[in-house]
Structures are given as C-alpha cells and as structure tokens.
Amino acid sequence: MFGWIKLSLLVASLAMITPNSPIKTSVAFSVIGYLITVTLIPRVGDSFIKIGLKGKDMSKAAPAHEIPESMGVVSAITYLFMMFGLIPFVFFKYLVSYSNLSNESFQSKNYLDQYNSVDDTKLFPHNKLSQYLSAIICLQGTILLGLFDDLFDIRWRHKFFLPAVASLPLLIVYYVDFSVTSIVIPTFVLNHLPFGDVLLNVINNVIKLGNHLVTYVTGLSFSTLNSDYSVPQGTPKLLDLGIFYYIYMSSISIFCPNSINILAGINGLEVGQSVVLAIIFLINDMCYLASPDVTNAAYDSHLFSVIFLLPFLGVSLGLLQFNWFPSKVFVGDTYCYFSGMVFALVGILGHFSKTLLIFFLPQILNFVYSVPQLFNLVPCPRHRLPRFSTRDGLMYPSLGDLKSPTPISKTILSVLEWFKLIKLEREDGQIVRFSNMTIINLNLVWFGPMREDHLCLLILGQQFVLGTTMVLVRHTIGPWLFGYDNLSWRIK
Amino acid sequence: MFGWIKLSLLVASLAMITPNSPIKTSVAFSVIGYLITVTLIPRVGDSFIKIGLKGKDMSKAAPAHEIPESMGVVSAITYLFMMFGLIPFVFFKYLVSYSNLSNESFQSKNYLDQYNSVDDTKLFPHNKLSQYLSAIICLQGTILLGLFDDLFDIRWRHKFFLPAVASLPLLIVYYVDFSVTSIVIPTFVLNHLPFGDVLLNVINNVIKLGNHLVTYVTGLSFSTLNSDYSVPQGTPKLLDLGIFYYIYMSSISIFCPNSINILAGINGLEVGQSVVLAIIFLINDMCYLASPDVTNAAYDSHLFSVIFLLPFLGVSLGLLQFNWFPSKVFVGDTYCYFSGMVFALVGILGHFSKTLLIFFLPQILNFVYSVPQLFNLVPCPRHRLPRFSTRDGLMYPSLGDLKSPTPISKTILSVLEWFKLIKLEREDGQIVRFSNMTIINLNLVWFGPMREDHLCLLILGQQFVLGTTMVLVRHTIGPWLFGYDNLSWRIK
C-alpha cells in the first residue's frame, strides 16, 4: 500500500523533470530526494549501529534501547546526489544554445572562426556554474567535517572554526563574481542619530585603514567592484567594508552551522527548525520571484536559493519522519552542520546574508541567551537538555548547580530572574540552582512541563511565527528604514 | 632534532609561496602537505583504532598487533585543504587585474560603464575556475565514498560504479569547456590495414546513429565543438565519438580508482604505486611545460596537471613513510579511490586520458591477468594476498584450490602455464591448486620467495621502468603512429 504511494510519487516527480524549468525540476528532485531518504534510512540504520554510531534516547521511559545516530548523513549524501543531478537541468538552456552553435559552426566555416575561445565564455554562464560548484564543494566539505565530528568527537574549540575553511571556495567565488562589499547605512542613522555623520566617518576611516593594510600585504583590493549587485547611484550612504565583509561572510558560515547545533537535544528539533527555516527562506524567495518589478540580478539570486532549498526540504522531511517523537533515529552533528551551511551559502551567494540573519533570530536569541553559560560566567553542565520525568512522561527544565557563586554569576541570574527569563531555586536566600539557559528550558519555565513533541512543536511554532513576521518586516519596514528596496533596487 | 628539520622545511616552503608562480606555490604546498601528514598520522592513529578502523597485518611474525586502518583519509583531507588554499594563488594574476580594474573604474566613470557584467567574464577565466572546482568536488565525493566503504564495507557491485557519480560534475564541465570528443585514427589503420577504410566507415555510422538517438532524446548534441583543444584541420582522419566519449571518460573515472584498489595487499604498494604514477605523470607534464613549441592549450592542461599532482605527491610521501614495510598504518580504500581519482581527473581535464591509460599499464596488466578470477571463470578466494611464511619471514605465492575443474578453467590455467604466467600444483596429473592471478603473486612465481619490502620495491621498479618507457613511446612512436603531435598540435 505504502509502496504504491511512493511509486506514484516517483512517477509524478519524474514526469515533472523539465529542461528549461529549473524550479519544476528542483521540486521533482525534492520529491525524489524525499523518497530516497525514507527508503534508505530504515535500511542502513543497522549498519550505523554496528560501527558504533548509536545512542540512547534519555528522554524516554525505560528500557531505552539504542537507536542509530548520525543518520543525517543519509539525507546529506542524498542531497549531494540530487544537486549533482540538477546541474544539467539548471544549465540546460545554455547547454542547448551551446550545442546549436556547434551544429551551425559545422555548417559554416566563417561562423566557426568568429567564435574563438574567449568569446565562448559569453555563451555559457561559467560564473554561475562556478557559484553552483563552489556551493557543492562547501557542502561536501561541511558533510565531511560533520562526519568526522560524529565519528571522532572532535573537540569544540577545534571544530568551531572549521566551517570557515569549508567556505573558502565560496568566498573566492564571491570575490570573483560579485565582490559587493558595501552595506547600506539606514537613513535614520544619518538623519536622526546625534553625531551619526561623525561616527560614520570615524568607522569609515578605520575600515579604510584596515583595507589599505590588507591590500599592501596581499596586493589584492577587496573593495566593491562594479557589479549587477551594486546598489544604484543616488541611494543612501554606503559603507564599503572591504575585507571586513569577507570576514563577516566567513563568520556567517561559522555561525549558521553552530547555531543549529546548539538549539538541539529534543526529538525532531534539529530537523524541524531546519524545515521551518527552509520554508521561511522559500517564502522570502517567492516574494522576489513573483514580483513583476524584480531585477534580473535579484531574480537570479533567489532562483539560486530556491533551487538549493527545495531538495534540501525534501531530504529533511524524509529525515524528520524518522526523527520525530518518538525518534527512531538521531540526526547527528553532520545534519546540523550540513543544514546550517545550506542556509549560509544561499544567503552568501544569494546576496541576502543580512536578511538571513533576521530569519535566524530564534537561533540568535538562543545563542545570546546561552552566552553566560557558553563563556562559563555561569556554570555550564556537560548537557543542558531538559529533564525527562519517568513519573508523568513529561519534560521539565533541567537545572544547573551554582556551587561557588561569583558576583558576576549572581548578578546575571538575578537580572534574568527579574525579567522572568530563568527559574531559580534558593536555599537560605542563596541561589543554589538555576534552569539551564536554552530557549528549550525557558519554554518549559514559562509554559510548565509538557510532552517532548509538544515542546518541539511549540518551539517550531514560535520560530515560524517569528520568521514570517521577519519576512513581513523585511519587505515593509526594511525598505523604509534603509531608504531603498533591493527587490527592484529602487529608491523609495 | 627531527622537529628542527620539519620547522626549517616549513619555513622554506612558506618562503616559496609566490603569487604569479603556481608551480612554485604548488611545490610549497606539497611540502606543507607532507609536513601536515607526517605530523597528523601518528597523532590520530589511536582515534581511528578506537572507532574500529583497525586491522592486523597478516604478513608479519606473531604477535600481530592491531594498527590503524584507513589512514589515507588523513592524506586525502590534507590534500583537500592544500587545494583550497592554492585557489587564490593559481588565479592570482586574474584576481589582481580584477582589483586593478576596480581602482581604475572608481577613478573614471566611463571606464566603469564599459565593463558591464557580460564583459566581466572576459577578465576572469571562470571556465578554468569551474574546472578547478569540479575537480575538487569530484575528489571530495570520492573521499566521502571511500570513507563510507571503509566504515561500512559496501558491497563490491554497489561501489564499483559510484566513482562515475562523483565524476559527473567533471563531465559537465568537460562538456561545457572543451567538448572535444574526437579521437585521431592512427595513420597505419588507414594506410596499411586491409579494409581499414570500410571498417572505419561502419564504426563511424554506428556511432553517428547512437549520437542521433541521444540528441533526439535529450536535445543535446555531444559532438566536438570548436575549441582550443581541437586537432587542427588537415590532420589525419578523426573519429567523433560524441556521447561515447563521455561514456569512455566515465569509465576512466571508474577504472583508475578500482585498478589501484586491486593492485594492493602488501605494505606500501597502494601508496608506492601512486607515488610512482605521480612521478611518471609529472615527467610527462614536464615534457610539455619545458618545450618551446608547446601551444597555450597544451601548456595550460599540463600546468593544471602539475598543480594537482605536486601536493598529491607530498601527502602521499607522508603516508608512505608510515605505510612502508613494516607498516605502522594501513591506507584503506579511501586512499586508493582518492589516488585513482586524482589521476583520472588530471587525465580528463588535462586532455590526456589516452596517455593516462598507457601510464596505467601495470594496473591494466594486473586487471587483465585477474579477469579469469574476477569473473569467476577460475575460483577466486576471498583474499589473494601472497602467503607469509613464519618460518623464514618471506612471502610465497598464495594458492587457490581448483575443487571442481571445468573445461574453461582447465584451459585457462594450462594456457597460462604454457606462457609461464602461473604456477600449478598437480595431483595424479590433475590440477588441484594454482597461484592466485595477481602480478604480486606472479612476481613471486617468477623470482621466488622474497621479503615483503623487496617484493614491493620490485613491483614499483617494474612500474617505474614501464612508465618511463611509456613516456618515451608517447613522445616518439606516438606522434609517428598518429601522424601528429599534440605537443604543438603540429602535423608531423
């Protein structure tokens, strides 16, 4: 019965594969990716357990049996295959014009002489191919890194910066293809902030100094070059970050994978938040693709994003089916890194790395909220997962012990308590325990104990509402704030 | 003491890194790759053993303790990092001209207007970047595949074709950038073979039919397009293979990794043969790079090859140091696949896939010799490694049992014996045992039992002599046979 549904889905998606329509084909590959994932995961689970990639679900009533860990690898590899297969379809129209040229050129010798190798590059968008390929490299590198992490448990301080290495080819392609390193200063900074002008001038000169230094050492200039993606003349004040823009993009490639990795620990959350993120990103992309005003450059950027996100959605939904409460598989660090990097690269290559960050608001909030523990200002236990109670089968906020309170930790905890952002337990007026600082625990503090899947749904719901709000903000308040809208690169 | 040598090597190689000289920088990265490999391997070995990547060396006197397996991963990942780091240096001159443009364009508005985004592609060789990136993708994919094989022991029939998937981006870039699918028919076929002309015509028409069919189905033409890499007009008869050329290249990407994987089993042989191959390839490349007659296209191809092979040589030598007799680590399938794919891709993207095959002659001979066992015409035991004798510490040819002799197996074995290509053991006139069909065993049959490292050296020596002979043949008899030399694309 279930096999028939799968088969008809497969046939339908194969029928959807159309040259000349990358989006349709991407939808088809998304469905195929989903089918491959749900077919493979139950089949390879035992092999994963056999080589030690397994774990016990601590939030279930005993006896907790071992389930396969790192199964996100299956999704990730399936995704890579899908993206390989998509290449000819994404570039189909150019390939055809290319082969038509060949037929004509065989017929007429003059025609052939006109096309020397330099002009050949005009016919095929090699720069777009480079972008596509660099994105795949970046993902493959991230998957390899994640796999090593799952296999060897790399130390936190070693693995934190590694995504930046994987994203190096991405940055080089960015340098060569776009090299837009300017950001727009919101008009209110210039108009309403006291000394806004002066402040900007100082920042600008510091940045220029840094850039001159880098250019002197490397011989390369990192300023914005002329490009389709440049903001038009006459727009509000631009700040050319130069090399600092590359550092910023590199930070994004570090931030996205790690931020998904730390908002984790309950069944379905890692994949669930990635699915929600993908949907929000796709809604934002559709705003561009469906707009009649959209510029070619913006259209291409968001088409790129859609092509990369649809198959990602497919393989993630396949994984979610097995990772949802009660989990039959764990996803592993591989999936978190892979998923974070997919968003980082569509943001970077699609030129909306700042928009990307507002969509990552839940992850950012979780990170900021975690900072006191991550930097050990407040004690941080090995695991900060919520606590499962075998008595009622519900999740409770997990508590950290404050054994040797310092003035800093006491202040932080008291301030958070005042804002109702933490639950403290006192003995003799002294803080002895506090709820661990993750938004997972915070939700349990706010809304009381609940079942694991309800908790996950709650967080995903918050994320979705926040995300769609951000899409609205992005396209209403954003253009007003910055004085222009990159939808049409038009000055408001 | 040893640390000082390493340090001074590192300083020397860092000093060698020069923008504008890709070869020098590649040499530097080769040394750095070597240093990283020899530093990492002893440090990560225990982690590999801990997760079950370990094996016992069967060819040593007891007690055989367990040593880490799959350590080729370390070389492969180091190599990837080196190739990432090389990108800016390989493309440095273009990056600089790019940023100079930016400075000028900021000074003069007219200048800026001249360069719209289409013309930008003229400045930067995006096609070369695509080649480079597709090569990295192909290698990363191969490493992932190899790693899975080492972890999960994928079945032979599943993994055999997988390198073809990893090489898909390579073929697409080939299609877009070169699309030369013609091969030159040796002049003697046309001049001296009876009915050579007729035969060629028949083959040509069959190929044309196949290609028309493919073009009809896909809408794409796979014939040779005009390209820098085309053979000049007036050269001897060309045969345009079209789609079959892509199938041929795909086969090469399957053949190279697998052929290295089956010429294996004694300490140092997998890495050793790769090192010898790299040296032979580099000698061949130098013939082009040092020639005053060389065309730009041929120069670029072989420059590409050198840039990819030098760091490979570095990381392989680092691995060989630990894998040489008596091995402290095993290399694993990852290394064999990775190494084979490096050669396949420089052959494909460097346009010498036919030359590549003659350099793989030892591997081809080993494969052809193995065919009766691989296809089960003659019984094939699970392992065909030579047999280690604890008595004298020497290696002896391993023997297969002929339990139920068939007419085919008896004929094959008798014919091989007649040519002295096998050792047979008879009982009552019936063949009961035969030496396993690998050139490793064959060498033991020919030259008698010897120590493992002498056996390895012998095979590597044979390979080196055969390889350098082939380089000579390639540049003397080759041009005479084919009627032209692609060194200068000149008709002889």
Identify the residue whose tokens are 């296809």.
B375
* pLDDT score of A300: 87
The CB-based long-range contact list for A1-9 (8 Å cut-off, 24+ gap) reads: A6/A35, A6/A38, A6/A39, A9/A35
Average pLDDT over residues B157-181: 80
- Name the band, by pLDDT with cuts 50, 70 and 90, for residue B1: low
* Contacts with B398 (C-beta within 8 Å, 6 or more apart), sequence order: B381, B383, B384, B385, B386, B387, B435, B436, B441
Residue A383 tokens, joined: 């695991």
Domain spans of chain B, in order of start: 127-374+456-482, 381-450
The residue that leads in pLDDT, A350 or B306, is: B306
- Asked if B91 reaches chain A (Cβ–Cβ under 8 Å), the answer is yes
Q: How far apart are the first and last CA of chain B?
A: 56
Identify the residue whose tokens are 């060698």.
B16
- Asked if B112 reaches chain A (Cβ–Cβ under 8 Å), the answer is yes
User: What is d(CA A461, CA A473) in angstroms, rounded to the nearest whole number?
Assistant: 18
**pLDDT of residue A321 exceeding 90:** yes
Amino acid at A119: D
Residue A398 · residue A392 · CB < 8 Å: no
Average pLDDT over residues B97-121: 44
* pLDDT score of A121: 38
- Asked if B144 reaches chain A (Cβ–Cβ under 8 Å), the answer is yes
Q: Whole-prediction pTM value?
A: 0.88
For residue A20, the SS3 value is coil
How big is the CA angle at B344 (ends B338 and B346), to the nearest 5 degrees? 105
- Name the band, by pLDDT with cuts 50, 70 and 90, for residue A233: low
Could you report the per-residue pLDDT of B379-388, keeping only the tens digit for each? 988 888 899 9
- Asked if A195 reaches chain B (Cβ–Cβ under 8 Å), the answer is no
- Asked if B49 reaches chain A (Cβ–Cβ under 8 Å), the answer is no
**pLDDT of residue B108 exceeding 50:** no
* pLDDT score of B119: 40
| CB atoms A221 and B99 under 8 Å | yes
Could you report the per-residue pLDDT of A454-468, keeping only the tens digit for each? 999 999 999 999 999
B contacts of A122 (beta carbons < 8 Å): 118, 121
User: What is d(CA A342, CA A340) in angstroms, rounded to the nearest whole number?
Assistant: 6
Which residue in chain B is spatially nearest to A171 when comparing CA positions? B88
For chain B, what percentages of helix, strand and coil (3-state, to nearest 5) are there? Answer: 65, 5, 25
Average pLDDT of chain B? 85
Could you report the per-residue pLDDT of A402-432, keeping only the tens digit for each? 888 889 999 999 999 999 999 999 988 889 9
User: What is d(CA B485, CA A278) in angstroms, rounded to the nearest whole number?
Assistant: 54
**pLDDT of residue A118 exceeding 60:** no
Identify the residue whose tokens are 């009766």.
B372
* pLDDT score of B222: 79
Could you report the per-residue pLDDT of B115-130, keeping only the tens digit for each? 333 344 346 777 888 8
Average pLDDT over residues A272-276: 97
**pLDDT of residue B71 exceeding 50:** yes
DSSP string over B242-264: THHHHHHHHHHHHHHHHHHHHS-
- Name the band, by pLDDT with cuts 50, 70 and 90, for residue B275: very high
| CB atoms B224 and A165 under 8 Å | no
Nearest Cα neighbor of A354 from A219, A481, A456 is A481
**pLDDT of residue A376 exceeding 70:** yes
* pLDDT score of B105: 44
* pLDDT score of B57: 87
> Which of A446-460, B94-108, B139-153, B344-358 is least confident?
B94-108
Could you report the per-residue pLDDT of A12-26, keeping only the tens digit for each? 888 888 777 889 999
Runs of H (alpha helix) within A54-161: 72-90, 92-107, 109-114, 117-123, 126-152, 156-159
| CB atoms B51 and A80 under 8 Å | no
* pLDDT score of A160: 79
Average pLDDT over residues A218-238: 64
| CB atoms B127 and A122 under 8 Å | no
User: What is d(CA B26, CA B289) in angstroms, rounded to the nearest whole number?
Assistant: 15
Helix or strand holding residue B240 (H, E): strand B238-240
DSSP string over A81-107: HHHHHHHHHHTHHHHHHHHHHHHHHHH
Identify the residue whose tokens are 């504008």.
B20
Which residue in chain B is spatially nearest to A220 when comparing CA positions? B96
* Minimum-distance CB partner of A225 among B102, B121, B176: B102
Residue B83 · residue B347 · CB < 8 Å: no
- Name the band, by pLDDT with cuts 50, 70 and 90, for residue B107: very low
Query: Cis omega before residue B63 (within 30°)?
Result: yes
Residue A53 · residue A150 · CB < 8 Å: yes
> Which of A294-303, B37-46, B414-423 is least confident?
A294-303
Could you report the per-residue pLDDT of B436-449, keeping only the tens digit for each? 999 999 999 999 99
For residue B431, the SS3 value is strand
Residue B430 tokens, joined: 């019936």
* Minimum-distance CB partner of A96 among B47, B91, B220: B220
**pLDDT of residue B194 exceeding 90:** no
User: What is d(CA B424, CA B414) in angstroms, rounded to the nearest whole number?
Assistant: 9
Average pLDDT over residues A192-202: 78
**pLDDT of residue A101 exceeding 70:** no
The residue that leads in pLDDT, B486 or A108, is: B486
A contacts of B78 (beta carbons < 8 Å): none
User: What is d(CA A251, CA B273) in angstroms, rounded to the nearest whole number?
Assistant: 42
> Which of A41-45, A168-172, B37-41, B105-109 is least confident?
B105-109
Helix or strand holding residue A32 (H, E): helix A22-50
Residue A70 tokens, joined: 């790192």
- Asked if A130 reaches chain B (Cβ–Cβ under 8 Å), the answer is yes
Q: Torsions phi, psi of B206, nearest 5?
A: -60, -45
How buried is A70 (Cβ within 10 angstroms: 0-12 exposed, 13-18 middle, 19+ buried)? Answer: buried
- Name the band, by pLDDT with cuts 50, 70 and 90, for residue A97: low
Average pLDDT over residues B211-238: 69
Give me the percent of chain A exceeding a pLDDT of 90.
46
Helix or strand holding residue A54 (H, E): strand A54-56
Nearest Cα neighbor of B399 from B376, B432, B371, B430 is B432
This complex has an ipTM of: 0.84
- Name the band, by pLDDT with cuts 50, 70 and 90, for residue A111: very low
